[in-house]
Structure 1
Amino acid sequence: MPLRLRRRKPVGFARAADGSMTLIEHLRELRNRLFKSAVAIVLGFFVGLYLADPVLTIIRQPYCDLPSSIIDGQCAMVMLGPADVLLLKLKLALWLGLIIAGPVWLYQLWAFIAPGLHRHERRYAYVFSGIAAPLFAAGSILAYFVVAKGLAFLLEFAGDDIRTTLEITRYVDFVINLILIFGVAFEFPLMAFMLNAVGLVSAKKLMSWWRGVVFGFFAFAAVVTPTPDPFGMTALALCLSALYFIAVGAAFLNDRRRARRAGMADDVSDDEISPLAEAPAPVELPTPVELSQPVGGPPPLERPSPIPAPAPLASRYDETT
């Protein structure tokens, strides 16, 4: 008895990529992925509650390192409302939950979007994601060191007769906003390289813009940096300029690779016939006896089965619709 292999049904990714998935199935997939992402964020939130105190200590460290922050041998900060510290820890726990659950909800987002992209577009997304995360982390680390220098510069203007004690919620918001600004700013050079990767801008064009780009980086750093000290603005602008020139260098390498690939087909004429890998086989003609045999007609059609009655209107829809 011959064995028959059971054909596997296409998975959800393949069905979404070839367009065979219905709208209702797309909605169900979106609902399931949103639910999984929400569960991961909630679990990360509870982990963030456990890590909120150590993270708050790390954020306060630049201020506590200043001599003016020590009062009675402790790093003193002000709480204006009775629930400010509780709300602050909840906010930190939510941020930490988003970071901890980042691989889960980013994967769910990517798994929902990726079937609609071409293979080369998915490859560009992999490269962008692999470089964007380290750049954001580098910008966040730079922002943390800028906070220490910026606070030392700002608090020097307070005289000896002024006791400086910062309010804890405003200080934490200041540090988090600075980290987000620096992290997002470090993605600008990567976007310039992606424009070259998709063929919209050449490396020579990017290099010709370097004066305006460097000036724009210094102007952007002067506007978005919350501290008026020159240290943070200069550090952000110099790092962005260096990353931009690195992106231009990578764009030159990409253009050279693209030109080398295009040059491989320049020696071949458009009218030249490509050689075949296999030798042509002769076509066998039918014999006169085969041509004289009559051709049979098609088999008779089966009688169609009766059409079932339509289902009631209430049972045509499920919980999704």
Structure 2
Amino acid sequence: MSDTDEIEDSSAPLIEHLTELRTRLIRSALAFIVAMVISFTVWNPIFNFLTEPLCTTMAERGQDECGLILIKLQEGFFVAISISLFGGLVLSFPFISYQLWRFVAPGLYKSEKNAFLPFMIASPAMFLIGASFAFYVVMPLAFDFFLGFQQAGTVGDTNVAASIDFQGSVQEYLRLTIKFIVAFGLCFQLPVLLTLMGKAGLVSSQGLADMRKYAVVGILVLAALVTPPDVITQVILFVVVYGLYEVSIQLVKRVEKKREADLRAQGLWFEDDEDEASEDEMMAEFDADEEDVPGQVEKGE
């Protein structure tokens, strides 16, 4: 067989993989477009649902009206487009994940499939938990904090109005809401990511534990960047993410114990650490013996 034939044979599998990748990407794009069109037809109910935390908080504060305004003429259209993009991504995400799995799965061993598949299921589940936590817990607290800066009344004994009323922009409120949901949803991916890295041997529980002080600084910076500039939201995000970091350490530790048990069962586990410790102890005893009998060493020489 000539060198040209070998090159053509080796390039054939690559072309097949690229063709399959193109097919998966086209299917994912079509699913996203269909989901986006569906979301566009019902963008009003979706927006009403997204305004529930704000309206509930305003009602608890005794404000009956919960209206947002359009500052620009085209703002309503772009709000509908933003909701369509967001809704389309949420609706099509399971199908896109399935296409990704179908592309990756043939190249994995059975054991690798069994290890990787739970993370594919846990990732959207954790994102949903994080988004729900932001929507039902964090956002009402943050909105109550922001609405607390309103005031009603007049200046002195005059009839001059000095009230401060909330008249929020539709687009600005939607941007803030999506930011909350996406930020907490992504932060809740931390246990999934670190556990997967631990299973691949990229991180260890001891290494994560030793990096706690750096993790605290990083989480504080993250909380300051992805949340609005209020202390309540930043503290909540810090506490939640740091708690997830500690949970990740325990999950990685369980992965390490399970790996050790499997290797022991196969007879492939070697006590490197214990051997090194015993060697160090033997060397220390030998050095102590030499210090105790220097004359014998000299006489032997």
Normalising by the residue count of structure 2, what TM-score does the alignment of the two structures yield?
0.72
Asked if the contact 1:47–1:97 (Cα under 8 Å) also holds between the matched residues in 2, the reply is yes
Asked if the contact 2:180–2:227 (Cα under 8 Å) also holds between the matched residues in 1, the reply is yes
Aligned to 2:3: none
| Match among 25, 28, 33 for residue 34 of structure 1 | 25
Aligned to 1:234: 235
Larger Cα Rg: Structure 1 or Structure 2? 1
Asked if the contact 1:63–1:69 (Cα under 8 Å) also holds between the matched residues in 2, the reply is no
Deviation at 1:90, TM superposition (A): 2.1
| Match among 75, 80, 92 for residue 66 of structure 2 | 75
Deviation at 1:189, TM superposition (A): 2.9
Correspondence 1:88 to 2:89: no
Encode CA deviations 1:156-188: one digit per residue, 9 max, x unaligned: 223321122000001101110121111111112
Distance 1:170 1:258, change over 3 A: same
Deviation at 1:38, TM superposition (A): 2.5
| Match among 182, 194, 197 for residue 199 of structure 2 | 197
| Match among 91, 94, 117 for residue 103 of structure 1 | 94
Deviation at 1:68, TM superposition (A): 8.3
Q: Provide the rounded CA distance (Å) in 1 between the counterparts of 2:140 and 2:62.
A: 19
| Match among 127, 138, 163 for residue 129 of structure 2 | 138
Q: Provide the rounded CA distance (Å) in 1 between the counterparts of 2:44 and 2:265.
A: 60
Deviation at 1:255, TM superposition (A): 1.8
Instruction: Please provide the CA RMSD for this pair.
Output: 3.1
* Aligned-pair identity (%): 26
Number of paired residues?
A: 251
Q: Which has the higher helix share?
A: 2
Aligned to 2:216: 214
Q: Provide the rounded CA distance (Å) in 2 between the counterparts of 1:267 and 1:188.
A: 31
Letter in 2 for 1:236: L
| Match among 142, 151, 157 for residue 149 of structure 2 | 157
Letter in 2 for 1:166: G
Distance 1:72 1:130, change over 3 A: closer
Q: Provide the rounded CA distance (Å) in 1 between the counterparts of 2:266 and 2:216.
A: 39
Distance 1:29 1:92, change over 3 A: same
Which residues of structure 2 form unaligned runs of 5+? Answer: 1-9, 153-162, 271-301
Which residues of structure 1 form unaligned runs of 5+? Answer: 1-18, 270-321
Asked if the contact 1:68–1:164 (Cα under 8 Å) also holds between the matched residues in 2, the reply is no
Q: Provide the rounded CA distance (Å) in 1 between the counterparts of 2:30 and 2:84.
A: 15
Deviation at 1:257, TM superposition (A): 2.1
Deviation at 1:254, TM superposition (A): 2.0
Deviation at 1:92, TM superposition (A): 0.8
Deviation at 1:103, TM superposition (A): 2.2
Deviation at 1:220, TM superposition (A): 2.0
